[in-house]
Structure 1
Amino acid sequence: MANKLNQVLKLGILIFAATVIMAGSLPGHSARAADIPTTDFSFEQDLNGWMPVTDKDNGNDQDDRGSGFQVSSDSSTDGTHSVKMTDTKNSRAYGLESGKLSAAAGTTYIAYADVKSLSGESELHLRYYSDAGSLLDEAVAVAPVTGAWSPVQASMEAPAGTAYAAVLLYSDKINTGTAYWDRVRFTSSFTDLGVQVGGAAPLGSTFGNGANQDKIYSVVTGNANDLPVMQVIDADTESVATSVTLPADGARPTGVWATATATDGTVYLGAYTNGRMYKYVPGAAALTDLGQAIPGESYVYDLAAGRDGKVYGGTYNHAGFFQYDPASGFSQIGGMPVYAPPGRNISYTRALAYDAVHDVSYLAVGANASLVRYDHATGQMSDILPAAYSNITLAGAVEYEGDRVFVSIGGYIVVLRVDVQPDGSVKTTEEAAITGTTPRVSPARNGGVYLIQSGKLARYDIASATVTPIEETVPGRVQRFGWVTLEDQGDFPGETLVALCSTNNETYLMKYNPQNGAFRMARVEGSPRIPGAINSIGAGPDGSIYTSAYLTGGLGRYIPFAGDANDGQPEYVFAPINQIDKIESFNGKLYLGVYPGGQLYEYDPSQAWSPGTNPKLLIGTSGYDQDRPKAIAYGDNRVFMGTTGKTGALPGALSVYDYATGTTTVHKNIVTDQSIISLAYLDGTLYGGTTIRGGLESVPSQTEAKLFAYDPVAGVKTAEYSLPPTPSGKKLTAITELIPVDGKLWGFAEGYLFVFDPATAEFEYMEEKFADVTYPGGTYRDADLVSVAKDPENLYGTIGNKYLFKLNKASKEVTVLQSAGGADMLAADKDGNLYYRKDDTSLWRYSF
């Protein structure tokens, strides 16, 4: 019966779609159409929306002599059709004009088209009309006769009185010739393309108790524009019962890692980056802001319920530990850091658990990992982490269940028994180290806890220290386990194990009943969707612009000039994939540098998204203490990745994947105690730029960034260069960009532009261009430079999350194009339009 029921329930499991097309408005963003579409822009619908324009030669000659317009499948650049325009008479003009497009006076617009001009002059006109339909002015561009497809564009500021614009494909009165036209586009010079990535994935999560034991309280993270939202999930209905936005008064919160339900049923949230605590009384309409837990701390990283309605919490930036008592408020416990062994770098109290029987807290601190047992009665502290794990930077979670401490660290869940000896000393016994796990374990029941191992549910028996697999797949990451007495006692009798999961950028529930084996995965209906802060931008080989989001990850896809009617939501998001820190494309593939673990994936956009297969993992560097991929380059049938060290570790690495052999080589510490954050391949040599910044919470040991050269065939570093001295003698700490330009390397180091000549191994130019861009302690990323074929005299760039600029290659003169609202990251589409991040969550396009 149990097996049959299990099979029936499995039929209700939602199959996890790899491609998620987001729908519905997101908080804080109204629907708008950023792209201005030209009807039937690629002539796949005959000539729908296009109007013929002809000059009948004053009525004297009515014979067209074969002139005219014909939708053709002979040749095209988009879809399967184009329009063929034939003009055989030098006394008559022929044209096709688009429908009227909304336009505003004072705004510069650009019209684009692909043209294959076989003979004569083929003209592209951008026309401006008044509200009454009068032609006010127009710009004209003439395409060269090449016999091959080439882009043509016309641009002009809309004159006073403009209400509409139109695009005209034209052969003038004295011309004869033949041309094919395709892919007609229209845009303003600056366009907000809106949200690209985001979702409804939960972070901090806690289960209710008492009358609310069937409720789960979870927070969907926010960004610089959108506040986090707490969702109250009904485990019975698998839907959101209510949503409550965190208050914006005081310092705005960005998100929530820390949650706990006190013994009195009150729910507490600990936020970042304002370090504040919030209280929620179930059934209330709003949260109460309790203020900063410890003044000056920016993160409350974890919370645990104590006795009598109290909660305990841990903080970052100085590894604080505190108590919140509803009767008396906050009180700091110990110093900051709460635990400070000599020679250890401690800035996080990252996770904690509370043992109510013995009045003891267990604190995971780091970045140099320790697990501290804190006795609240005596104030005694002991580091109980076994020595084998002391070289790991930080534990991810700590839980106290079944008289055992479960600490998630280095890909293990380590199970510890802690005994207090007669003399008051503490003895720790490691009973198990469970591999291939995600951090959380369930509350103990019947002598065991449940966890996720290798993507499947499993049970750990405390007495025998053994793991029993349960053949049920749980995709994504469990944020919290709980035991719930569900209303459906027929299918889920007694208590059911419920897990809140972050899966495919969505909120999911897992249900497993130990009595009958019933199992279910279900997407939670009604979860709030919040835009993701754009973390990387790259141009794909398919012409799309790809993005990823801070924390939530996912891969967003924007198809230029094909945006839908609502840019307040993503159009296409591919998931699951973790946070992507770098995106590049080579040889028809998209390369994705993924955090954590310093991973490099290869994705083929021409094939279906299929996690594990497409994208496929090429390089993983967590075993080399690497974490954040910040640079990718390609050359000599090899792909290269530059990374930063993990939390607390200084050395970065250069990793090389060789397609000929299918092998990976990792050069850790290729530049002493520095991270690799920029790469460029030029004439058989790979060049890399470094930063003195190591992993998070590491303290730099070096004082200046380096440029290095690497021989891919020999597999060795061949040279290392210091930058020229600055006029003030200041040493520059980060080379954030390298790009080959006309046989030389151009780059930025903080606000300085430099040009390096590989032939002479000398810096032939270096000058400060942005005095307000400086990073005394190094940085992970900053400047981006791109070149576009239509403007060979200039480079384009962003820097400091402040400026979009043009850089003249001959004079080295910089022209700032955009600064209001900032500009960060940069990629170019095949037409030379530039894409960058502005206002944290929005993708913007600059066209010229």
Structure 2
Amino acid sequence: MRLVRSILVIASLLAAVPYPAAANAAGPATTSTAARPTTGAACTDPAYQTFGPASITGAIVGATTHNGFAYVVTRGLKPPILAEIDLATRRVVRQVPLPDGPLAGEPEGGWATTVSGGQIYVGTYPVPDLYRFDPATGTVTHIRSFGVNGGFVWSLTTAPDGTIYAGTYPDGKVWEYVPATGAVRNFGVLATGERYVRAVAADATNVYAGLLDKAKLVAINRTTGAVTTLATGTGGFATVGVGNGRVVATSGSTLYDVRPDGTDLRTVGLGELTSDMLLVEPDGTVYLSARPTGAVLRYRTGDPAPTPLGTPKEAEETRRLVVENNRLTGFSGSGGMWTMDPATGATEFTDLIAAGLTPGSERPQAIRLEGPDELWVAGHFSVTVRDLRTMRQRRIWVPGEPKAIVSRGDTMFAAMYPSGEILAIDRTSLTLRSLGYLGHGQQRPWDLEYDPISDKLLVATAPLGASLQGALSIVDPDTGAKQVYVNVIPDQSLMSLSLDVAKRIVYLGGDVRGGGGTPPVRTAASVAAFDLRTRTVRWQVTPVAGYQTFQDLKVQDGLLFGVYKRNASWFRMNLATRTITHSGPLPGYGELHVHNGTVFTATYFGGGNVYALGTTAKLVATGLGDEWYTNPQLAFEPGSWNAWALIGRDLARIRLDPACPTVTI
């Protein structure tokens, strides 16, 4: 009853918010209004106000079809919702929550779905659990867990005899589940150091797994467990399918087509595209969806290159491809469903919120206040802009996750994951313009600043996948021209940057783990001072031995403040001597902000806290919750000690005056 009630509460919160029938790249803005925040800076005034969900989403992860219906799983909601869609009417006809399992942590979505014996199976994250939904009764059953909180069931598939196979993270294993008996086993270590089994497919003899870190496509004999490597790619294998005696998979910008025994390996280039979803039909026809364009391609063994069929929605991600009634059906990550005639490319797109999917409150990516009255909150596939004078809201679609946002005049810029694209968003019309992609394997942007002297954007990035080399990118906000300085801190990715405008130095914070999946060759994260005039590193230091990952850096009046991620702590460094003068532990990590001459950090864990950093870390607020998706952030109002932030998943305005008593939520 509690879970059903949570859906009704979300629905009531959103009853007054209209949503577009179909969002496009320009993003028809949606609006709503709420009460104007009150002002007041005295310590005796109310310390905080909340204003409802900070970011609303109808995004989905897993999707599948069965017997004339589609089943999709929401992304980022607690609990996640399994929605049933009538494919004939294109309407949502039933929604059920996935209950919390017995282990620590709560599911927030399900990347993996499959059908066996007329039952719908869902694999969840960030607890790697398996659920079963019975369409006949509407009941949901928790089957088992494949690990602990922080794990994923990335992929599911069903063999011809009904046996289910799951690919998991972070153990990098393939698991077997037999619905008829409940028997479970796994096939052990598939490649030393592997964490992700990103894709699985099965036939009567083998289960095929795409490994992300080690870039291997393997076949596992379902009877003996023997593992055979079919191909080694240039990047991680993210898709795999089997049919008509061929195994087809994609790694980076290459399609691999091979027999199940590893013979007759063929490779086909995809140009500058990669594939996020793949379907192999029984006759051997292969359909692929492509990133970053959102195009759909068709391939058959022997083709020199795939044939473009059309683009259902520009720059969209695809979560599933199926063929229903001779038409190709796809499901879009932002919360859409489309059908395409493969012969003509004609497409019909349906927004799932407009079709009846109940949206809900998600964990935001970033927040920024422009002037006194314009607040931007970035979510998954969307950005919400609020006019704080009227509390009117406008919500637009964007192609992915804006990990960082910054402004220049009348334009907002967003650094996007997982594409590494830089977007320009007109602050008045909310129309989008692409500045292109960073390239060089740099698809995970972590920090973004604007340099008013050179009129350039500065981007700190990590690679996506098994590489240690991050980059500092310098981007022209008008033309999109880029200079990408890969491996600027040797053998480290970049988590943070902080610009000293007057001295023309940008300080960079590293991470020895890089994109993950490759053992570090350095033992501690470094700070580097990059000279924007000479485009060279002036110096590099390692502040704390053994601490591997920075979360953020901020320069202020000749001092450099830093927050570590994996060894949660802070420090203050004298830049003249490059020595740490003050430091201490923190309960978690988050971003640094300078306001009224004071350096603040908001942190994950410990219930959500805000500290003012100086010679000590002074607690100024506690109990905010741990509901950020990327990193806890603050957006301070000019001329006051008030900041916009989150309390739980609600937008909040909080007094953070270090002279006042600690704000306790």
Q: Give the TM-score normalised by structure 2.
A: 0.84
Structure 2 matches for 1:298-697, cutoff 5 A? 298-335=151-188, 337=189, 339-340=190-191, 344-356=192-204, 359-385=205-231, 387=232, 389=233, 391-392=234-235, 394-412=236-254, 414-418=255-259, 420=261, 426-430=262-266, 432-435=268-271, 436-444=273-281, 448-452=285-289, 454-462=293-301, 464=303, 467-471=306-310, 473-475=312-314, 476-485=316-325, 495-502=326-333, 505-512=334-341, 514=343, 519-524=347-352, 525-540=355-370, 543-549=373-379, 552-563=380-391, 571-606=393-428, 608-611=429-432, 613=433, 616-617=434-435, 620-637=437-454, 638-658=456-476, 663-682=481-500, 683-697=503-517
**Retained in 1: the 8 A contact 2:173–2:197?**
yes
Counterparts of 1:750-761 in structure 2, within 5 Å, are: 750-757=568-575, 760-761=576-577
CA-to-aligned-CA distance 1:402-429 (integer Å, 9 cap, x gap): 33222122144x1413164xxxxx3142
Larger Rg: 1
1-structure distance, mates of 2:485, 2:510 = 14
**Closer, same or farther: CA 547–379 of 1 in aligned 2, 3 Å:** same
**Residue matched to 2:603:** 799
Q: RMSD over aligned Cα, in angstroms? A: 3.1
Matched residue type, 1:581: K
Structure 1 residues 799 and 333: alpha-carbon distance in aligned structure 2, compared to 1, 3 A threshold: closer
Residue deviations 1:206-242, cap 9 Å, x none? 111xxx1x1111101234xx21001111111001111
Q: In structure 2, do the counterparts of structure 1 residues 675 and 307 end up closer, same or farther at CA, with 3 Å as the change threshold? A: same
The aligned residue for residue 766 of structure 1 is 582
Do the aligned residues in 2 keep the contact of 1:199 with 1:530 (CA within 8 Å)?
yes
CA deviations 1:502-541 (Å, max 9, x no partner) are: 3xx3322224264x87642233401121222112222336
Cα deviation, residue 464, structure 1: 4.5
Structure 1 regions of 5+ residues with no counterpart? 1-12, 25-32, 38-108, 112-153, 159-187, 421-425, 486-494, 565-570, 774-780
Is the CA contact 2:504–2:531 (under 8 Å) kept in the aligned structure 1? yes
User: Does the alignment pair 1:836 with 2:652?
Assistant: no
Aligned-residue offset at 1:297: 8.4
Corresponding residue number in structure 2 for 1:179: none
- CA deviation profile, 1:75-104 (whole Å, cap 9, x unmatched): xxxxxxxxxxxxxxxxxxxxxxxxxxxxxx
Which blocks of at least 5 consecutive residues in structure 2 are unaligned?
1-20, 627-631, 658-665
1:742 is aligned to 2:557: yes
* 2:647 alignment partner AA: K
The DSSP-based 3-state class of the residue aligned with 1:534 is coil
Q: Say whether residues 1:260 and 2:69 are aligned partners.
A: no
Counterpart amino acid of residue 123 in structure 2: G
Letter paired with 1:450: Y
Given the superposition, is the C-alpha separation of residues 419 and 808 from structure 1 closer, same or farther in structure 2, using an over 3 Å criterion? closer
**SS at structure 1 position matched to 2:440:** helix
Q: Any idea what the Cα deviations from partners look like across 1:295-314, whole Å, max 9, x if unmatched? A: 78822111111133221111
For 1:320-377, what per-residue CA distance to the aligned partner results, in whole angstroms no more than 9, with x for missing partners?
2122112221421321x2x12xxx5211111111123xx2211112311110012224
Q: Which moved more, 1:634-643 or 1:311-320?
A: 634-643
For 1:95-114, list aligned pairs within 5 A: 110-111=39-40
Q: Return closer, same or farther for 1:575/1:662 CA change in 2, 3 Å cut-off.
A: closer
The verdict on how the C-alpha distance between 1:473 and 1:331 changes in structure 2, with shifts beyond 3 A counting, is closer
Q: Secondary structure at the match of 1:709?
A: strand
Contact kept in structure 2, 1:458 and 1:468, CA below 8 Å: yes
Quick one: structure 1 residues 836 and 404, their matched pair in 2 at CA, closer, same or farther if it must change by over 3 Å?
Answer: same
SS in 2 for 1:590: strand
Q: Distance in 2 between matches of 1:309 and 1:397?
A: 21
C-alpha change, 1:472 and 1:331, in structure 2 (3 Å) is closer
| Residue deviations 1:256-276 (CA, integer Å, cap 9, x gap) | 0111112x2221111112211
Quote the offset at 1:663 in angstroms. Answer: 3.4
Cα distance between partner residues in 1 of 2:267 and 2:488:
39
Residue 75 (structure 2) pairs with residue 221 (structure 1): yes
**1:147-296 alignment runs, 5 A limit:** 155=42, 157=44, 188-208=46-66, 212=67, 214-223=68-77, 226-251=78-103, 252-262=106-116, 264-293=117-146
Return the alpha-carbon distance in structure 2 between the equivalents of residues 276 and 330 of structure 1: 15
The DSSP-based 3-state class of the residue aligned with 2:265 is: strand
Identity %, equivalent residues: 20
Q: CA deviation at 1:622?
A: 3.6
Task: Measure the CA separation in 1 of the matches of 2:470 and 2:493.
Answer: 4
State the 1:586 CA deviation.
4.0
Aligned length: 615
Q: Name the CA distance, whole Å, in 1 between partners of 2:376 and 2:444.
A: 22
Q: In structure 2, what is the Cα distance between the partners aligned to 1:295 and 1:477?
A: 28
* Distance in 1 of aligned mates of 2:613 and 2:265: 66
* Inter-CA distance 693–545: structure 2 relative to 1 (3 Å threshold): farther
Q: Does the 8 Å CA contact 1:354/1:362 hold for their aligned counterparts?
A: yes
Per-residue deviation at 1:481? 2.1
Contact kept? 2:24, 2:397, Cα under 8 Å: no
Question: What amino acid maps onto 2:237 in structure 1?
Answer: A
Distance in structure 1 (CA, Å) of the matches to 2:403 and 2:345: 40
- Read off the aligned partner of 1:221 and give its amino acid letter: R
8 Å CA contact 1:501–1:508 kept in 2: the answer is yes
Map 1:8-157 onto structure 2 (within 5 A).
16=24, 18-21=26-29, 35-36=35-36, 110-111=39-40, 155=42, 157=44
Structure 1 residue 675: Cα displacement: 2.3
SS at match of 1:287: strand
1:704 aligns with 2:524: yes
TM-score by length of 1: 0.67
> CA separation in 1, counterparts of 2:171 and 2:98?
25
- Tell whether 2:620 aligns with 1:817: yes
SS at match of 1:367: coil
Corresponding residue of 2:16: none
Query: C-alpha displacement at 1:288, in angstroms?
Result: 0.8
- 1:595/1:236 Cα in 2 relative to 1: closer, same or farther (>3 Å)? same
Letter in 2 for 1:254: E
- The question of whether the paired residues in 1 share the 8 Å contact of 2:245 and 2:260 is answered with no
C-alpha distance in structure 2 between counterparts of 1:496 and 1:19, whole Å: 27
Distance 1:586 1:719, change over 3 A: farther
* Alpha-carbon contact 1:270-1:300 (below 8 Å) kept: yes
Per-residue deviation, 1:741: 2.6
